[in-house]
Structure 1
């Protein structure tokens, strides 16, 4: 939680609740810049709004030029797509829509789960250049919120704020000389915690299948090779230098074992299986309740 006496700037953006905590209240111009950044990110990536930059690719083949931050997102997704053997993909949007997680939030499945097309067959994405060879429903939600957390943190740093906590509904970035203690939400009861962890000049991100669940056993964390929800894991937490990396790895841990990820990324982790067993890395210095 933020330190007592800190000021909080709260708002809604990209379909979730945000809180930015700082020792002093943010200037109005800075608050507006933060809100404008969230709006611009949503207007670029959202598959839920018809005026977004990527929305057009869902109706016809074509090419778009993305903002500069897309290069880091593409690099992370490319690595995780490769390491997960296609299970984590930015093309998962079509599978989510098929199961009812669509722009209208109908939550009514259109049929049996279906895997999206393979990235290498239909999508060319290099840095800020993206070309869809057929209509594609992009969804970068597995890492996008984390990247937006980083972008907001960068704006705060540029404005001279060295102490802050950016919290995008559980995806957090901390900066400053005073670490914060964060409760780890119980995957089956959001009013309880399974433990705590200290966040000190790093990012902490979580992924949980209970966050967006509907119908009978359907939720938003899908295997890109099958289009089916993953049921072996129910919650993950990761800590890394950036929220982009932490967010992407939190999702990847649903789809694969940690060892290959640890060979390429510097991070710590905690994973809870559907059987209730908790496993964690040596570097995840938290406290789990018994």
Structure 2
């Protein structure tokens, strides 16, 4: 009998869940548990909150070529590529004191080393959860019906228990728990950056504009749909920081589909990937 199996863990500051649909529940559960081990590996590699993580140890060794694992090398390469594509709107060195920039990171793919040319703090949080989702999807690549969610960074393929495409809800940034819309997703990743998450004591949010050194203004939500969760994660963050006009142009150049909602409740859509179709305008309005 076809059944839905779910396995979830608390990790990376959120809940990571795997849902699988198939005929052999016990085997599917074991596969989910085995795949989930990758999440712990990502956290041990790139957590900036753990002084023993590989990332934290790297930041104590500036000015020298440091051998790094393939995982950390891939994460840093993606972070720097996203920074370059976004002209630094996305920057893994944001928050460094004294100031550093992504150009101060040198990656040698041949030797497998990374050189930090200045003292810096490195934060890969904007892509790490998406990277973990990609690893889980790869570990379960032979299974046809999979949904993975790491704190709102999602990948889905196949169908749910009802035989329908997985449905992904896009949160309404002006309504606590409300949804803007739902997307039918198959073989795609969906990631949203929003100012409603992780509020700071000064009333700002965690999405920092590297050029200003403080929370970006203009948008309240940016959702990106494409192939590759870590890529979608980084692009959503970069576009959010850019704002509506620059962000939509940037995402169109990246050939993805996206929905950006500004502080006035207006929707800005991008249909450059032809994977999903967002309505031109929905019900999102700031509360009175």
Interval of TM-score (by shorter of Structure 1 and Structure 2): 0.7 to 0.9
Q: Structure 1 stretch 138-147 or stretch 84-93: which is displaced more?
A: 84-93
Q: Deviations over 1:158-196 (max 9, x none)?
A: xx3121000112111112254212111111333111112
Q: Which residue of 1 aligns with 2:56?
A: 55
1:71 is displaced (CA, Å) by: 4.8
CA distance in 1, matches of 2:136, 2:99: 31
Q: Which residue of 1 aligns with 2:268?
A: 279
CA distance in 1, matches of 2:158, 2:100: 43
2:223 equivalent to 1:221:
no
1:83 is displaced (CA, Å) by: 3.1
Q: Which residue of 1 aligns with 2:249?
A: 259
2:171 equivalent to 1:170:
no
CA distance in 2, matches of 1:168, 1:251: 16
Q: So what's the TM-score if we normalise by structure 2?
A: 0.83
Q: So what's the TM-score if we normalise by structure 1?
A: 0.82
1:211 is displaced (CA, Å) by: 0.8
1:202 is displaced (CA, Å) by: 0.6
Q: CA RMSD in A?
A: 2.3
2:9 equivalent to 1:17:
no
Q: Structure 1 stretch 209-218 or stretch 37-46: which is displaced more?
A: 209-218
- 8 Å CA contact 2:259–2:269 kept in 1: the answer is yes
1:31 is displaced (CA, Å) by: 3.8
Q: Which residue of 2 aligns with 1:108?
A: none
2:28 equivalent to 1:30:
no
Unaligned runs of 5+ in 1: 96-114
Unaligned runs of 5+ in 2: 284-288
1:82 is displaced (CA, Å) by: 2.2
2:36 match: secondary structure: helix
Q: Deviations over 1:213-237 (max 9, x none)?
A: 1212221101112221102111110
CA distance in 2, matches of 1:91, 1:63: 18
Equivalent position to 1:149, from 114, 133, 143: 133
- 8 Å CA contact 1:74–1:126 kept in 2: the answer is no
Q: Deviations over 1:61-97 (max 9, x none)?
A: 24433332445434432332223322211112537xx
Equivalent position to 1:90, from 83, 92, 117: 92
Report the count of equivalent residues. Answer: 264
Q: Which residue of 2 aligns with 1:118?
A: 101
Q: Which residue of 2 aligns with 1:140?
A: 124
CA distance in 1, matches of 2:108, 2:219: 32
CA distance in 2, matches of 1:126, 1:240: 28
Q: Which residue of 1 aligns with 2:115?
A: 131
